[in-house]
Amino acid sequence: MSANASGGSGRLIRWLGVASLPCLLAVGFAAAGGWLSPHRVTPNTMLAALRGVDGAHPGFRRNHAKGVCVAGWFEGNGQAASYSPAFAFDTKRVPVIGRFALAGGMPYQGDAPGKVRSMALALKGPGGQEWRMGLNDIPVFPVSTPQEFQALQQAVRPVAATGKPDPLAVQAFRAAHPWLASAGKALAERPITSGFENDTYLSLDSFVLQGVDGRSTAIRFAMVPEEARFADMPGKGKNASFDQLDEAISAHPLRWTLVLTLAGADDAVNDPSRLWSGQDKQITAGTLTLTHLASEAGGDCTDIVFDPLVLPEGIMPSDDPVLQARSATYMRSFAERSREKRPRPAFDPAVSPSEKTGSESVSSEKAS
């Protein structure tokens, strides 16, 4: 050894020693960042899967791309206050910025009654606290994990030859996920209302209310419309549902009731693809009032990411794995689209339906 210590091989070993630390760090960093595990589901792979279905539409949200901003307020009624000190359960009125949208990544898709509608809200509480939510008009989420969501997007990806999903791929997904059959059935049989304005929007994911007494209560929640009137199904225009929403909100403010459903013993808190018993205790926690729409071009909702894990004090995420994937993936989508050129949204409430024949210059006639 000592004979070699100052010789060539000793020197080589010392140089290897020098290189060992940077190399170890690099390998560890690459492992942590997922570069050594190509099958890891990440926000990027989730977005790639969505892009595979709907294509790339720069500047738009990667899902629920077609939408319109809405504003109003929320007023709690105090009935949920004993479960959580969250500001929304107080009786003070707080401002709300929101967004109605159609599910899917295509920003210019035509409206159709059966398409999944969503309501996203940011309730702005005191001291900078917010409660953001992304709600959908479906009874359950089609899958129970982010991995399944990505696999489903890959299965329904349209094939070049037909422009439609490969039926075999869809069948294979169903066969590989028999536990999702009940969700598929519930989705297929869901009641469909005539529009955004009389629709019920559900959290799908579960959350946990944290009482000041330390008590935890798992919940799901929904916005239930006051507008129960079932109008005729909207006309055939490309933006028929949005035009109808605009008409309804122009006539009078639209109201929804926030209904909390408290998890029963057998309800799956960690699986948004499963219905709850239907026998659970429900609490009416407050009223949402929406008063006017605004185009996404310059509207207040455009620069907000409706990340369901932006929660106020007193509300915590549940162990539902889809929640975290939504938070992570929405953040990535928000960062990407914010670096892209601002696009022109499909629907602009400042343009009346009769005017909407491609005119670019728009004068706002509605007071907002």
Partner 1 sequence: MNPIVFFARSSRVLHWLMAVLILVMLFVGVFMAASVGPAYHALVGFHRPLGIALLALVVLRLINRFFHRPPALPADLPPLMAIGAKASHWALYALMMALPLIGWAMLSAGGYPIPLFGNGVLLPPLLPHDAALWGWLRLTHTVLAFALFALIMAHGGAALFHFLIRRDGVLQSMIGGGSVSPGGEHSASHD
Q: What is the DSSP letter of 278?
A: S
Q: Is 57 a catalytic residue?
A: no
Q: Is 365 in the site for partner 1 (CB under 8 A)?
A: no
Minimum distance between the CB of residue 162 and partner 1, rounded to whole angstroms?
A: 31
Residue 153 or 329 with smaller CB distance to partner 1: 329
Contact with partner 1 (CB under 8 A) among 109, 336, 352, 353:
336
Please tell me the count of residues contacting partner 1 according to CB under 8 A: 54
**Any idea which residue has 């598929």 for tokens?**
184
Residues contacting residue 306 through CB under 8 Å, at least 6 positions apart:
99, 120, 121, 122, 132, 133, 134, 330
Rounded to 5 degrees, what are φ and ψ at 119?
-125, 120
As measured in angstroms, the least distance from the Cβ of 5 to partner 1 is 12
Which one among 134, 286, 312, 349 touches partner 1, defined by CB under 8 A?
312
Could you say which of 186, 328, 350, 362 contacts partner 1 (CB under 8 A)?
328
Alpha-helical runs (H) found in the chain: 2-5, 8-32, 43-54, 146-155, 167-176, 181-188, 240-251, 321-338
Does position 304 bind partner 1 by CB under 8 A? yes
Residue keyed to tokens 């500047």? 59
What whole-number distance in Å separates Cα of residue 289 and Cα of residue 102? Answer: 20
Does residue 22 belong to the site contacting partner 1 (CB under 8 A)? yes
Task: Verify binding: residue 105, partner 1, rule CB under 8 A.
Answer: no
337 lies in the binding site for partner 1 (CB under 8 A): yes
Rounded Cα gap, residues 274 and 366, in angstroms: 43
Q: How far apart (Å, rounded) are the C-alpha atoms in residues 153 and 326?
A: 15
Applying CB under 8 A, among 190, 324, 343, 362 the residue interacting with partner 1 is: 324
Residue type, 295: S
- Residue of the chain from 129, 289, 291, 352 that contacts partner 1 (CB under 8 A): 129
26 binds partner 1 (CB under 8 A): yes
The alpha carbon of residue 162 and the mean position of all alpha carbons in its chain are separated, in whole angstroms, by: 29
146 binding partner 1? (CB under 8 A)? yes
Identify the CA nearest to 119 among candidates 46, 49, 189, 224.
224
Which range in 154-162, 223-231, 278-286, 299-307 contacts partner 1 by CB under 8 A? 299-307
DSSP helix, strand, coil percent of the chain (3-state; round to 5): 30, 20, 50
Establish if 65 lies at the interface with partner 1 (CB under 8 A).
no
Report the distance separating Cα 67 and Cα 59, nearest Å: 13
Nearest to partner 1 of 43, 195 (CB atom): 43
98, 286, 314, 349: residue in contact with partner 1 (rule CB under 8 A):
314
- Distance in Å, CB of 298 to partner 1, minimum: 12
Per the residue annotation, which of 39, 57, 64, 292 is the catalytic one?
64
Measure the CA–CA gap between 86 and 105, rounded to whole angstroms.
33
Minimum CB distance to partner 1, residue 244 (Å) = 29
The only residue of 156, 187, 297, 309 in contact with partner 1, by rule CB under 8 A? 309
Short-list 307, 254, 341, CA closest to 120: 307
Cβ at position 26, least distance to partner 1 in Å: 6
Among 110, 139, 317, 353, binds partner 1 (CB under 8 A): 317
**Partner residues linked to 131 by β-bridges:** 123
**Residues of 281-291 as b/e, b for ≥16 C-beta within 10 angstroms?**
eebebbbbebe
C-beta separation of 209 from 315 below 8 A = yes
> Per rule CB under 8 A, is residue 41 in the interface with partner 1?
yes
Which residues make up the interface to partner 1 (CB under 8 A)?
A: 14-15, 17-22, 25-26, 28-29, 32-34, 40-44, 46, 127-130, 146, 302-305, 307, 309-317, 319, 321, 323-325, 327-329, 334-339
User: Would you name the residues annotated as active-site residues?
Assistant: 64
